[in-house]
Chains A and B, each alone.
Chain A
Amino acid sequence: DAGVTQSPTHLIKTRGQHVTLRCSPISGHKSVSWYQQVLGQGPQFIFQYYEKEERGRGNFPDRFSARQFPNYSSELNVNALLLGDSALYLCASSLSARAGDTQYFGPGTRLTVL
Chain B
Amino acid sequence: GAVVSQHPSWVICKSGTSVKIECRSLDFQATTMFWYRQFPKQSLMLMATSNEGSKATYEQGVEKDKFLINHASLTLSTLTVTSAHPEDSSFYICSARSPGSGANVLTFGAGSRLTVL
Say if A and B assemble together. Answer: no
Binding site for A on B (CB under 8 A): none
Q: Which residues of A contact B (CB under 8 A)?
A: none
